[in-house]
């Protein structure tokens, strides 16, 4: 028989791990939002994306989540005219990362809320286990 509290904890732990990685990737995107190429005309930092995948956790017999892939966003880079920049090409144009701070902040907020929700599931499962132990003592 599958322990439902153990199953909830395992599934929430998988969610914590996935959202933690997602927050790390979003943080990296934000940190590199102004990183240009290291040579004239070179490509700048490319925004990274996280793709999740549903996966069967055979131990608990329920669907879980895992990170399937960390990819790069294929949207075009922004181009600004800045001839004084060392990364400018022969026309004075500089390629800037395809990172939009508003999108990244929204992703960070969503990942943070999902992380907190999974953490709350683990806390509640622990509280239920503690309650069961207390009931068994009496």
Q: What is the pLDDT of residues 58-79, one digit of tens each?
A: 887 888 899 999 999 999 999 9
Length of the chain: 138
User: Of all helices (H) and strands (E), which one includes residue 98?
Assistant: none
Paired with 71 in beta bridges are: 49
User: 100, 75 in Cβ contact below 8 A?
Assistant: no
Range of the domain at 97: 4-137
> If you ran DSSP here, which 8-state letter would residue 52 be given?
E
Q: Mind listing the pLDDT tens digit for each residue in 77-113?
A: 999 999 998 999 999 999 999 999 999 999 999 999 9
What's the number of domains the chain is made of?
1
For the whole model, what pTM was predicted?
0.85
Query: What CA–CA distance (Å, rounded) separates 45 from 60?
Result: 40
Angle between helices 101-137 and 4-31 (to 10 degrees): 160
């Amino acid at each position: 028989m599958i322990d439902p509290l153990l199953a909830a904890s395992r599934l929430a732990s998988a969610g914590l791990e996935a959202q933690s990685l997602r927050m790390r990737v979003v943080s990296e995107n934000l940190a590199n939002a102004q990183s240009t190429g290291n040579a004239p005309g070179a490509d700048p930092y490319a925004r990274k994306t996280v793709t999740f995948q549903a996966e069967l956790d055979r131990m608990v017999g329920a669907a879980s989540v895992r990170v399937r892939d960390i990819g790069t966003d294929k949207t075009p880079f922004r181009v600004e005219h800045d001839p004084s920049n060392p990364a400018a090409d022969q026309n004075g144009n500089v390629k800037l990362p395809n990172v939009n701070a508003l999108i990244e902040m929204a992703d960070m907020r969503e990942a943070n809320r999902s992380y907190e929700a999974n953490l709350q599931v683990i806390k509640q499962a622990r509280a239920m286990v503690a309650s069961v132990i207390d009931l068994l003592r009496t």
